[in-house]
Structure 1
């Protein structure tokens, strides 16, 4: 299969028309048809290849080019040194449980501390990599040994622990392990009969489906989760209300990914109205849902819809949003960079990427969008930006 055939294969697998894909990369439908039919035999230059890979959610550029000499890690994050230890902890299920079980209050305190450490750390994967193996083992053991109501509480804690593990695993070369923790979190949450744990597991599972390109499944799991928790919101605390808002935004994100602008902004508005019902300084540790994050969410929706002017306007308004979590702030700044990338404002892209690196180096190091934008600036950007881009590329272990 030649280059054009590969483009067509991945486009059809993603469920995109030629018009949609061409629009996302700033080309005409006639140009894309010529590429796919083989009439344009010369392979596009790197910037267009990177845009195609991003639009088609291709992690390995060789899947498009057929050139296996270009390493995967140039476009995806490297595996963290703690990945094997986390994998071993997840896989070591206590089939014959024995040992000293932790008090549930102790496990709760450790889990809360792990969330706080994640949000405060510029290198949050390194922080989590040191905490997760023991936390996973202890949570699994508690769920296996407790009985009755304590067991249901332990299962809720285990589901949340798996969610924290998914934060560590995101954007790493460990898709099998990410799916394992996402599905185990859902099973544990269902068995716990805890509405908050279930909502949390739904949020993480929906993200796994969307990142895998199964948008229908992502939408369905979020809608099902909302239906289950909706009757309990009025009698529950602020955390469940926040989860309802977070799930609404996930619907907005998924709609934006498939180009449904009306649905995307409608769900965003629903989430924004829920955010206004939260206390002013509230910030949910699992999802980052809060009043302060809604402007950042607006940037993401506009970027995913490829609304260049709107995304730039939202980015300009939200670039300095006081998001208290360093990794979440870093991710937001990458979205700001993507907004400027749509407008071909390369200086603003570079500035946003440098700000993202300052906020959270590990966030940008593992983010495929950031790596692609950095590589393009380093290779084909204006001369006055290339030096800065190459410094950043070295810092995020891109130029190998």
Structure 2
């Protein structure tokens, strides 16, 4: 983005703030034609007073418009900023269902449109396009809330199900980006909505999202207990060979194992991952029921991740990773693969192989740039790699660090 003319940068941030040229011009006290000429590079933008006013309206640092901000460079194309966090927070703070209790919405969004939008959002997440997703989330949340509030009868269950999924999508991406309090709020909302949707499996996955957010907030013990409680409930009811139930049950065990790893409880980690592996073998292959990506390969990814969390990077790299076949790994969606490469980078850093750790970050960046450039944990790994590299880092590492905003 730094190579773009200043007018193109203005256009980019105007679009990201969802301002039309006319609205932007009105706020600046200029004409729409003036804005159009600036953005096309026909008119020069060389007065600092005007630049600062534009930056104020767009809520960005003026250095970002000049392409000189060393703290946020091309990662700004992929990552969330605080303006967008506040937009998502505002959407989560809406209570359309309560308003509809008194005055029903006359024209709720069609459920067919909502289904398409929700499926697209899940795929956007699973392909690791977090910036695109977070900028679409406020509208998606508002539309899903309006649909939930405005539909009744048989359609009410589907509307609630779709809203529950949107809350889960929001929770998942917000946790990735380090916004753990909002991730917990969205996940908690998804649990309540899942009950109204009368869908035990949706509630089960919502439980895993809540537990993930709790663990990220430093509360792994209640996260472990919650996962196990709901996993046991699922095990006691329903068909034991239902692929959807097996997927949700297995994911609850895997997330419980990750919480146990944060507690340093290796015995519980092994028990839960082995239980999840049994469910995966019953399932037979990696599938994506309830957007879980659950299956034998994903279980092995969690074995490696848990080993890293326990501080045993050597086992993660030398044993668990070696059990994953290349065709099975390549068949996984980009988010899963890039996440695993980030875990391997952490494990390699733990055993002192910072050169290979940097290579894993580069591989992950090629698969799903947002998984590496936007996650706080990836920034920590990159900082560790740079700090422990003797001499100047290799140019690809230095370039990625610069793009991430991590000081070389």
Same topology, TM > 0.5 = yes
SS in 1 for 2:283: coil
Number of residue pairs aligned between Structure 1 and Structure 2: 326
Tell me which of 91, 100, 119 is aligned to 1:112.
119
Equivalent residue number for residue 335 of structure 2: 327
Q: What are the Cα deviations for residues 333-363 of structure 1, in whole angstroms up to 9, with x where unaligned?
A: 0001111112111221111111111111111
Equivalent residue number for residue 108 of structure 2: 101
Aligned-partner Cα distance in 2 for 1:99–1:287: 35
Matched ranges for 1:283-294 at <5 A: 283-284=288-289, 286-294=291-299
Tell me which of 347, 360, 370 is aligned to 1:339.
347
Aligned-partner Cα distance in 2 for 1:150–1:237: 25
Asked whether 1:83 is paired with 2:85, we answer yes
Equivalent residue number for residue 194 of structure 2: 189
Q: What are the Cα deviations for residues 280-333 of structure 1, in whole angstroms up to 9, with x where unaligned?
A: 352346332222212211111111122243122123444952253212211110
Residues 81 and 319 (structure 1), Cα distance of their counterparts in 2 relative to 1, 3 Å cut: farther
Gaps of 5+ in 1: 1-70, 72-76
TM-score by length of 2: 0.73
Larger mean Cα displacement after TM superposition, 357-366 or 236-245: 236-245
SS in 1 for 2:99: coil
Aligned-partner Cα distance in 2 for 1:318–1:339: 16
Equivalent residue number for residue 136 of structure 1: 141
Tell me which of 291, 294, 315 is aligned to 2:321.
315
Matched ranges for 1:55-70 at <5 A: none
- Indicate if the aligned counterparts of 1:377 and 1:386 stay in contact, CA closer than 8 A: no
Q: State the shift of 1:266 in Å.
A: 1.3
Residues 238 and 298 (structure 1), Cα distance of their counterparts in 2 relative to 1, 3 Å cut: same
- Indicate if the aligned counterparts of 2:313 and 2:347 stay in contact, CA closer than 8 A: yes
Equivalent residue number for residue 177 of structure 2: 172
Aligned-partner Cα distance in 2 for 1:360–1:80: 22
Aligned-partner Cα distance in 1 for 2:386–2:197: 50
Aligned-partner Cα distance in 2 for 1:141–1:187: 16
- Please give the root-mean-square deviation of Cα atoms over the aligned residues, in Å: 2.7
Residues 258 and 235 (structure 1), Cα distance of their counterparts in 2 relative to 1, 3 Å cut: closer
Equivalent residue number for residue 57 of structure 2: none
Q: State the shift of 1:80 in Å.
A: 6.6
- Indicate if the aligned counterparts of 2:342 and 2:361 stay in contact, CA closer than 8 A: yes
Tell me which of 285, 305, 313 is aligned to 2:310.
305
Asked whether 1:161 is paired with 2:166, we answer yes
Residues 221 and 323 (structure 1), Cα distance of their counterparts in 2 relative to 1, 3 Å cut: farther
TM-score by length of 1: 0.74
- Indicate if the aligned counterparts of 1:78 and 1:173 stay in contact, CA closer than 8 A: no
- Indicate if the aligned counterparts of 2:106 and 2:150 stay in contact, CA closer than 8 A: no
SS in 2 for 1:111: helix
Larger mean Cα displacement after TM superposition, 206-215 or 77-86: 77-86
Q: What are the Cα deviations for residues 16-62 of structure 1, in whole angstroms up to 9, with x where unaligned?
A: xxxxxxxxxxxxxxxxxxxxxxxxxxxxxxxxxxxxxxxxxxxxxxx
Tell me which of 232, 257, 262 is aligned to 1:257.
262
Aligned-partner Cα distance in 2 for 1:369–1:349: 13
SS in 2 for 1:276: helix
Aligned-partner Cα distance in 2 for 1:300–1:236: 27
- Indicate if the aligned counterparts of 2:362 and 2:400 stay in contact, CA closer than 8 A: yes
Aligned-partner Cα distance in 2 for 1:185–1:139: 12
Q: What are the Cα deviations for residues 170-200 of structure 1, in whole angstroms up to 9, with x where unaligned?
A: 2435333222211111111123221121111
SS in 2 for 1:399: coil
Equivalent residue number for residue 29 of structure 1: none
Equivalent residue number for residue 92 of structure 1: 94
